[in-house]
Amino acid sequence: MEIQSCHTFISDRIVPVAQCPSCTSTIPEDCRYCPHCGQLIDVSAAVTRPAVLSGDQSARKDSQTSLGPHSDPGIRSGGFTAGQVVNGRYRIEALLGRGGMGDVYRAEDLKLGQIVALKFLQPDLSHDPERLSRFLDEVRVARTVSHPNVCRVYDIGEVDGQHFLSMEYIAGEDLGGLLRRIGRLPEDKALDISRQLCAGLAAAHKQGILHRDLKPANIMLDSDGMVRITDFGLASLVEEIDQADVRSGTPAYMSPEQLHGVEVSTRSDIFSLGLVLYEIFTGKRVFDAKTFEQLTSLHDTPRVSPRDLNKGVDAAVDRVILKCLESNPELRPESALDVAAALPGGDPLAAALLAGETPSPELVAAAGSSGKLAPLPALLCLGAVVLGGLVLAFLGNFGLLGLVPLTRPPEALVDTAQNLLREFGYEEPFCDSAYGFTNNRDYLQHIDESDSSLDRWAILGTGRPPGIFFWYRQSPRPLAGTRSSQVHYDDPPPLISGMKRLNLTPDGLLMNLEIVPVEGSGETADPALDWGAVFEKAGLDLDNFRESESGWIPPVYADQRGTWVGKSRDSGSSEIRVEAGAFRGRPVYFHTIHPWTRELRIEPRVTTSGEILSGILGVIFLSAMILGSILLALRNIKKGRGDQSGAFKISLYLLLTSLLAWVLQAHHVADLSEEVFLIVRAISISLFYSCLVWLFYVSLEPYLRRRWPEGVLSWSRLLTGHFRDPLVGRDLLIGTVFGTLLAILITGGSWLTGVLTSTPPVPHTVETTNLLGPLFVIGNLLENQLSAVASGIGFFFVLLLMRLLLRKDWLALLVVFGFAVVQNALRAPDLSGTFIVTVFMMALAWCLVVFLMLRFGLLAGVAGLFSANFLLSNPLMTDFSAWYASVIVFSLGVVILLAGYGCLISIDRSRFAIGDLD
């Protein structure tokens, strides 16, 4: 064949060719670009320009790529013949094509029994260190990309000093040949190919690889219509590209920065992707030039809209293509997945997962369904929450608060306590005071263990002894708790002279009294104390008691002591012992001792085997969680996939919420130094927990996005500020439904326990601090939010950790479920009389929690845990005349309002149209 005057510019040499070295098409004499694939053929007029590599491509045949089938059953040319075995493994079948880097053959891999393509480096180029290095780089780079839309490279070998690589054989046609035959593609097929291209390119970019020569001739379509991106001969790792390599590629498909020799990035491939998409949807190339100067000048002209060439192009397709073709790289889509997300009718989240890439939080937030609910299901869910709240209020009548008559509010009991102290002779001013309610657990346990009758809890209605009692403290110095920011009956310990504390029944009768005498009182004759008046304040008649030997030593100094044993009118057959002491004619100690009363000062702390096992398991899991989260967080940050912005938002929210809860619930003092200490401690604790959640979130959330993005769809939308998104509303609504059901299960579970054990169960107790006023209720609301968020994130973190260790989803879930049930059952007080029943109830409750988390995701799980805990910790009854009725209304109102908000923003208002009512 006579060589025509066309040339291809390879490295620094001009090689005359009769055919295009890229697609093997015939080249017209006056053409400087291949009219089919856009390959630059002749740049001899611009010898001062840097060389533009164009021949390092897989060879092509007419309308097929080097990896496709060849019409000639035999070998047209080349150094190998049909039937020849190379390296004792590959039997040559046919020459597929010839390119600037070398020949490509179809061969049979005798070892694996499959057809492969062998790409040989030309013998003269094998001795060129630069070319050989580039060839080896192609293998190294291509092997790092494993994706269904990328041609796989298997191995590299050498025969007689000639290097070759083996790669996937694709029976099909290259996209360039297809476009030459039929022009533009139908819209549905064009969209399908476009999405696959985006997925394959995203997989390469994920490995830090730029293709740099993306064009139709390097894109294969197999017999099933699957796209394969081929020819990574010019691909390089981003960090390894130097200035000399910038212009490598095919000029007609280069980005402006490549043509001008400036820094390239993944957005350079996005530009090439836009050129290919333009051609797919219009059948025309963006830049149709015959000279290099003409090509560069075309880059400075406005792009012709694809819709101007094809009116059938979707407006969204038109926008994203023109966005890809922006001259300024910063204005182009950031990634190939963003391009896929902008295409109509596609699933960008599925594309990201198909690309093996962790989708960004923004991509997750933009994916998925709208979450809109039809009016009927949404309103039924809201109705279920309202009905569930009423059921809980009814069940609350059988709880401890419903059985124990709390006739007087805390403010009245504080007044009673202060009057008692004044009557006992303590009129000196005090610096600080505190008060609260406490569940009488020792008394409840005594009834549970000693009485199995059907009406055993009826005695709580008499208030003698009380199931709930009131405590009050005074101090000449500021009171500051040592265990928490709140003051309790025994914290801080009563060690300062002048400290006073006492217990009252709900109707204001004295139960216990303890006063630390003032130092330096001196030794003087002490007047006798009339103990009958003290007994009267306790609702006891001294005439019904006899003196006895002392059994307990008072915890405070007393110069007068007495011990009495007798019965009260409400004690039944049980005797009561009263230990008392006075100092200088004033009572300093008064203690009513029942058969169930424990002396905590001398009673050793007995740790049960269940508590020990629970503690050991807790420490092991917490240590594993922290260590694992540190390693995973460092890895995610290094790879740039950790959602640090979302983690910061959550941590900041938890920090501020925790501090606000502390402001509302803490016992604040007027002493500056003490208050500063309390503030520092509160900030330290809040920072620790918020940082811990940040650590867990950064380590966990990327894996959730990749393995289970549907579970964080609504959560991601909430974090990105879409508070009125229907999916957010749907999950909040469903979460409150499950949370209300969970609260009913736990509260009503005690009834089931009674049925199974033929004994009325122990009444359900509540958080007694919520009886102290609205500030404590709001603080409890904030604390439950913190607990729900931490528990939801912790659940998925432990599940992920177990998945990484056990390698099986079902086994990991089983271990987490079993651990949660057993640990909670071991920690629960065994007041029901049977451990098996407790385990059964815990298992049932955790089944609901696990189903909610796995079926509806993190946000629904957090909403469910919050609703359940908030309802269980607050007093719920149908007696709205009680002094704490506002707390009942507020507790039910918060959950109903949360469900109402979810219903409001999730409901599909279009369904209310008259035409849709039928």
Residue 705: strand, helix, or coil: helix
Under 8 Å CB-to-CB from 161, ≥6 apart: which residues?
123, 126, 127
H, E, C per residue of 719-784? HCCCCCCHHHHHHHHHHHHHHHHHHHHHHHHHHHHHHHHCCCCCCCCCCHHHHCCHHHHHHHHHHH
Could you say which DSSP state residue 857 is in? -
- Give the Cα separation of 764 and 869 in Å (integer): 13
H helix runs in 479-553, sequence order: 531-537
- Which ranges constitute the DSSP H helices of 310-407? 315-324, 336-342, 348-354, 361-366, 375-396, 400-403
Burial label, 841 (beta-carbon count in 10 A; 0-12, 13-18, 19+): buried
User: What is the separation, in whole angstroms, between the first and last Cα of the chain?
Assistant: 77
H/E run at residue 902: helix 885-906
Could you tell me which residues are beta bridge partners of residue 33? 40
C-alpha span between 905 and 371 (Å, rounded) = 10
Catalytic residue among 42, 213, 338, 432: 213
H or E element at residue 95: strand 90-98
Residue the block writes with tokens 């150094």: 79
Helices (H), 807-834: 809-827
Could you count the other beta carbons within 10 Å of the beta carbon of residue 751?
14
Q: What's the rounded Cα separation, in Å, for the pair 170 and 189?
A: 19
The Cα 851–Cα 861 span in angstroms is: 9
866/870 Cα distance (integer angstroms): 6
Residues in the chain: 918
Which sign does the torsion angle of CA 869, 871, 872, 873 carry? positive
Which of 207, 345, 218 is CA-nearest to residue 275? 218
Strands (E), 128-180: 153-159, 162-168, 172-174
Query: Residue 886, CB half-sphere, CA atoms under 13 Å: how many?
Result: 11
The reply to whether 213 belongs to the active site is yes
Angle made by CA atoms 371, 376, 382, in degrees to the nearest 5: 80
Q: Which residues are tagged catalytic?
A: 213
